[in-house]
Amino acid sequence: MKIAFCGKGGVGKSTVTVLLGKFFLEKGYEVLAIDADPSPHLARLFGFEKEVKAISEMKELLEERAQKQGAFYTLNPYIEDLPEKFMLKKDKLSLMVLGAIREAGTGCACPEQTVLRRLMTHLILRGKEVVLIDMEAGVEHFGRNTIAPMDAILIITRAYRGSIETAKQMLNLAEQAKLRNTFVVGNAVRNEKEEKMLRETFGEKFLGALPEDRELEEMEIEGKPLFFYNGITYEKIKEIGNKLI
């Protein structure tokens, strides 16, 4: 099973990714998590103590694999050895921290992005375990068809207008790309009124609501791994995980 997590920045994509990863691990699955967010947090949230450098920050490596020479670079970079070199492992959990490259000023990140995208595709296609991808915020990856190989796409939203509008836009783009197993999960939903509003807004695409959770917020504030959290939100995560199975 291969699942991508999308949504507007700050809605809790990484939180949902980690808690669903915990659910699948407890079910006995092997899990490969891929952190493709420009500000990666999955290593910390999963409880890896080692400081991790995202591959997107390894400029010399990316240029070498892209065979970058001036304005020219290869569209088929060699990346097959990178998982063995940079993948983190803990029991049945594997984590690959890709990150993402943001263009600054007039610089072009195309060669480096080519390496990252090919590496992501390689990881997705070779994965025989549950594959969970924490995507960058926004809707750009739909246009790049980055998530086309997914079995399911979860759009995480909060119950406020900006987040909901982004989720609607993502659903529309997913429909255009014929990505049919695209669903919406409400996060930090404060009351029944907000949950009802989300259900009415997204209809059959609404997979479930996760409650506002002070315990989870405190763990985030204190920088504690969410992998060891077992509170009320995790009970709701189990319901969503069973629906996906």
The confidence band for 137, taking pLDDT boundaries of 50, 70 and 90, is confident
Residue 240 has pLDDT above 70, yes or no: yes
Query: In this predicted structure, what is the pLDDT of residue 106?
Result: 39
Q: Which of 202, 193, 203, 132 is nearest to 166 (CA)?
A: 202
Per-residue pLDDT of 12-71, as tens digits, reads: 999 999 999 999 999 999 999 999 988 889 999 999 988 889 999 998 998 889 887 777
Cβ-based burial of 29 (10 A; exposed 0-12, middle 13-18, buried ≥19): middle
Pairwise CA distance, residues 186 & 39, whole Å: 22
Per-residue pLDDT of 72-124, as tens digits, reads: 788 889 999 999 999 999 999 999 999 887 654 434 557 788 888 889 888 98
Q: What is the mean pLDDT of the chain?
A: 89
Evaluate whether 7 touches 13 at the Cβ level (below 8 Å): yes
Q: How many residues does the chain have?
A: 245
What CATH number belongs to 2-60+91-102+128-244?
3.40.50.300
Q: Which residue has the higher pLDDT, 125 or 143?
A: 125
